[in-house]
Amino acid sequence: MAGAALGAAGRLAVRGARAYAGGAEGRAQRIAALLGATENQRLVFALLRAARPNLALQRKLIAAYENTGTVIVTRHADVTEVLERESDFAVVYEPKMRAITDGENFFLGMQDSPAYTRDVSNMRLAVRRSDVPEIVIPHVATQAEAIVAAAGGRIDVPATLTLPVLTGLLGQYFGTPGPSGPVMADWTTRMFWYLFVDLAGEEKVTRAALEAASACRAWLDAAIAARKAQPSGTDQVLDRCLALQAAGVPGMDDLGIRNNLIGLLIGLVPTLSKASVKALDTLLDRPEALAAAQAAARADDDAALAAVLWEALRFDPVNPFIYRRAVRETVIARGTLRARRVPAGAMVLVANLSAMFDPIAHDRPKEFRPGRGAEAYILWGYGMHTCFGAHINQAVIPQLLKPLLRRAGLRRAGPVDGAGTPFPVHFPVTFDAA
Ligand code: HEM
């Protein structure tokens, strides 16, 4: 670990010096870009894991949620400890969740409570694990293949493939297509950005999200009323929610249904699109890994394809850390040399990216080695709030990318471009049209 830390320090010093030396103009942006790149974050974490595994700072790195300072947690054992200790390290999203719903909290913003159990249980009855093979996979596979087949050898991955298929799933499976696919992609992206990504609490991000939330609430309210007035005879998530309501299930009045649906729609669209783009981008930088993914895709071996994709996402996950706030003063890693006192109110940045590269927890983590087993990955949370859509993610990402990976001559035709947002908006690739 010490050797890896020294190597990381050397590489960071060279890159940092380059960013600094390019002149005062644009220096802050160059340094921000340096630290924003996942590859450099991995180096910073390698250094921290060895030198300061649980780093406490008086500085508030997150301004969007109230806190008293920051603790950065980097070792696998401590990352999982914090996420397991739900009563000491609480989720912080409640005020923003309430702003999005214009009232109630959503279950990701709740600590363990009767309301949390009620809402998760209700939504598990409406979004069933058996839907994944029966509805989700066939829909995504068919749509993705049709889009790639019609693309003529060039495709803009988020704009033409991932976002249209995912917003299509909202219509087909959830029964909530919104006014159009692009509008649903825009609304869910703006709300996700505000809730989880905008750590600085920027006014323009807040305004855009709250406008989207208001429009999305109005659309969902009307859709729920219309479906109740005139049942469609379908078996979509919305129909199942209304069936629970008709059975008198608590928490499933119209507002409860709308708020739970908003939370799921936000969780589904921007994340799955970004994860698919990141996985593909990582593979295109690694010829051997790309070849393994292509072989699995051509053999229709979804398990082997997923194993390569999870490994790609380990190198560049959608979120490199998860954050919690200390409910009271406490200690992380008690009884070890790295034990760290955490003041009440401190924001704890739990670096899942770092945990997945911890050599104490994983065999040769710097090697790209598919098939490590599920425990090696913290790609969509850990503990009580582990992603509600985990099984959907595992099915959808391979199905979105399989048609592209089957094609010969797959190449990058431009960079991943967020167009000023933290989400991929453009990523052109080309392939040999059949
Ligand atoms: C690759 C795609 C996805 C990624 C990377 C992702 C990431 C995450 C992460 C990191 C968490 C935990 C947040 C925390 O602990 O603070 C989470 C929770 C959650 N996700 Fe996802 N997610 C994805 C897809 C989905 C999908 C498809 C849905 C909806 C069907 C969804 C709905 C949720 C919900 C409702 C929670 C809260 C669970 C709870 O509080 O018990 N996500 N997700």
How far from chain centre, in Å, is Cα 386?
11
Which helix (H) or strand (E) segment is 341 a member of? strand 340-342
130 secondary structure, DSSP code: T
CA dihedral (78, 320, 372, 55) positive or negative: negative
First to last CA, the chain: 48
Q: Can you give the residue ranges of every domain in the chain? A: 54-430
- The dihedrals phi and psi of 331, each to the nearest 5 degrees, come to -130, 135
Distance 185 CA to ligand 1 centre (A): 17
Question: What tens digit of pLDDT does each residue of 11-33 get?
Answer: 877 776 777 777 777 776 776 77
The edge-to-edge listing of strands for the beta sheet with 154-156 is 154-156, 428-430, 411-412
Cα distance between residue 93 and residue 77, in whole Å: 24
Q: Nearest-CA neighbor of 312 among 390, 398, 392, 382?
A: 398
The correct CATH number of 54-430 out of 3.30.70.260, 1.10.10.10, 1.10.630.10, 3.40.50.620 is: 1.10.630.10
- The dihedrals phi and psi of 231, each to the nearest 5 degrees, come to -55, 140
- Whether 172 contacts 234, CB under 8 Å: no
pLDDT at 202 over 90: yes
Give the pLDDT score at 25. Answer: 76
Cβ neighbours of residue 40 closer than 8 Å, sequence gap 6 or more: 12, 15, 34
From the alpha carbon of 274, which atom of ligand 1 is closest?
Answer: 1
Cβ neighbours of residue 91 closer than 8 Å, sequence gap 6 or more: 108, 109, 110, 111, 324, 385
Give the pLDDT score at 267. Answer: 97
Give the pLDDT score at 15. Answer: 78
Question: What tens digit of pLDDT does each residue of 347-370 get?
Answer: 999 999 999 999 999 999 999 999
Other CB atoms closer than 10 Å to residue 29's CB: what's the count? 11
**Which residues have any ligand 1 atom within 6 Å of their CB?**
91, 107-108, 120, 263-264, 267-268, 271-272, 275, 318-319, 322, 380-381, 385, 387-389, 392-393
Question: What tens digit of pLDDT does each residue of 37-59 get?
Answer: 898 899 999 999 999 999 999 99
User: What Å distances lie between residue 5 and 9, 46, 339, CA to CA?
Assistant: 6, 5, 20
